[in-house]
Amino acid sequence: MRIDIITVAPELLESPFNHSMIKRAIDKGLAEVHLQDLRNYGLGNYRQIDDYQYGGGAGMVLMIEPIATCIEKLLAEREYDEVIYMTPDAKTLTQPVSNALSLKKQILILTGHYKGVDQRIRDKYITMEISIGDYVLTGGELAAAVLCDSVIRLIPEVLGDETSALTDSFQDNLLSPPVYTRPAIFQGMKVPDILLSGNFPKIETWRSEKALERTQQLRPDLLDE
């Protein structure tokens, strides 16, 4: 999978892609991420990329020309399966969305800053808009990193244990059950006996019950879906 990210703050995205699971996916050749610095497409000597909004109001808006020039250049080089705009005023990212995106070959992500981008960019180029939750971030970069992490880990062969992505919280609309490792007793706190029993069918039943219990307590909304 190839992911291009158009950003005004490429440095914000370098660290997430140079560590952990994403780096391994990139090293294995399963994913490539290309950062496109919007400043390179800015207007005039000052490489202007933002301007005051029509109609007045606080906050700058990313201008149409630099983004259009950048997107047109990329679209001329390859076909993208989706052109995604990261913005808080969109539907919230969910596991099924990440699952679907993990099957794509080429994705272009536009991250906003300030008050966002000129609406005409969204009208003309964007095929999908994604928010990562009901709170506001300074820019879309960290949100894009979250999206890429959730998608790249689902690409077959990225995770060491092939099955572990399938047992994540949310894959079956349930939160994960509690997990334990050694020691069996720490300061008097014991690991549940069932997990030490070796009775795997019973352990699976226990895990399902705990997952349901936790979901009922913390996220009853998931059970309505």
Residues that bind ligand 6GU (CB under 6 A): 86-88, 131-133, 135-137, 139-140, 143
The tokens 């560590």 sit on which residue? Answer: 19
The smaller minimum CB distance to ligand 6GU, of residues 10 and 139, is found at 139
Amino acid in position 180: Y
Pairwise CA distance, residues 35 & 8, whole Å = 10
- Looking from the CA of 115 toward its CB, the CA atoms found within 13 Å total 14
CB of 191 to ligand 6GU, least distance (A): 37
28, 158 contact by CB (below 8 A): yes
The smaller minimum CB distance to ligand 6GU, of residues 86 and 155, is found at 86
The smaller minimum CB distance to ligand 6GU, of residues 13 and 211, is found at 13
CB of 109 to ligand 6GU, least distance (A): 10
Pairwise CA distance, residues 116 & 97, whole Å = 23
The smaller minimum CB distance to ligand 6GU, of residues 8 and 159, is found at 8
The smaller minimum CB distance to ligand 6GU, of residues 129 and 213, is found at 129
Q: Return the SS3 of 44.
A: coil
Q: Which helix (H) or strand (E) holds 33?
A: strand 32-37
Q: Which helix (H) or strand (E) holds 124?
A: helix 119-125
Pairwise CA distance, residues 3 & 33, whole Å = 5
CB of 137 to ligand 6GU, least distance (A): 3
CB of 130 to ligand 6GU, least distance (A): 6
CB of 90 to ligand 6GU, least distance (A): 7
Pairwise CA distance, residues 188 & 29, whole Å = 47
The smaller minimum CB distance to ligand 6GU, of residues 17 and 85, is found at 85
